[in-house]
Each structure stands twice: as C-alpha cells, then as structure tokens.
Amino acid sequence: MNEPHPATPLCDRLRAAGEWNPAWEPFYALDPAWTEAFIAMGTKPMRAGVLDPKVIEFIAIAVDASCTHLYAPGVRRHVRKALDLGATKEEITAVLQCVSVLGIHTMSLGAPILQEELSARETAAAAA
C-alpha cells in the first residue's frame, strides 16, 4: 500500500538551492517525514536569525572540517558562503585552527580548500 508523499518544504528548498547533501537521499527515500524533521532540527539555528550568518558559516566550517566529519564538499560550500558574507582569510584560518585541536586533519583538509577558493576569487576578480 502506497502512502501519499508527505510535504517536505525544507528538503525541497535545500534541493532547489543546491545545498542538498546526497548522503541524505537514502533516508529521505525511506522516510521523507523523518528527514524533513531532521532537516528542521538541523537548520533551526540558521532559520531563527539569532546568530549572524557569518558566524553560522564559521560553525559549519568547523563541523565539516572536524576530524570526526571531514566533509570536504561542506567545507568548500561554507568557505565560499563565509567569503561571500565578508569573512577574511584570517577569520576562516582561525576557525580551522580552533577546530584543529580535534586533529591535524582539519588543517590538512581546510587550508588547501581556503587557498583554492581565495585563488578562484582572485582569478574571477581579475577577469571582471
């Protein structure tokens, strides 16, 4: 018996914005309503507007770059967003340094991504 697909506006919004993590797809396929609740819980701090958007990106960089996560696509996405919000390379480096106490892999993953993104930004600026 097929049950109707529940509404998943937050999941749909993440997909539309290109921020959907493909790793979420299997549990979305099994239980879209649970996935929507999981996304609602995880995005509540961002949606609440309590923290500055740049601070949220710093936290996301720290989580994704931590040795317990090491999720390079997330680090890249959040470094880009932080730079778009006016973060400096020194601020992002400080975030990576703070989380590096969890393991040196944080800097091994995050520092090259920061360098690549800064280089890409400089190249784009020079072309404009």
Secondary structure element (H or E) that encloses residue 113, with its range: helix 105-127
How many helices and strands, by DSSP H and E, does the chain display? 7, 0
The pLDDT, as a whole number, for residue 53 is: 94
The pLDDT, as a whole number, for residue 76 is: 95
Domain residue ranges in the chain: 7-50, 51-128
Contact 60, 21 (CB under 8 A): no
Whether 2 shows a pLDDT value over 70: the answer reads no
Read off the pLDDT of residues 31-40 as tens digits, 9 standing for 90 and up: 999 999 999 9
Taking only Cα atoms into account, the Rg of the chain, rounded to an integer number of angstroms, comes to: 17
Average pLDDT, the chain: 92
pLDDT-derived band of residue 1, with 50, 70 and 90 as boundaries?
low
Read off the pLDDT of residues 48-65 as tens digits, 9 standing for 90 and up: 999 999 999 999 999 999
Model-wide pTM > 0.85 = no
Structure tokens belonging to residue 14: 């993440």
pLDDT-derived band of residue 3, with 50, 70 and 90 as boundaries?
low
For residues 121 and 115, what is the distance between their CA atoms, to the nearest angstrom? 10
Whether 106 shows a pLDDT value over 90: the answer reads no
The pLDDT, as a whole number, for residue 87 is: 98
Q: Output the CATH code of domain 51-128.
A: 1.20.1290
pLDDT-derived band of residue 8, with 50, 70 and 90 as boundaries?
very high
Average confidence (pLDDT) over 25-36: 96
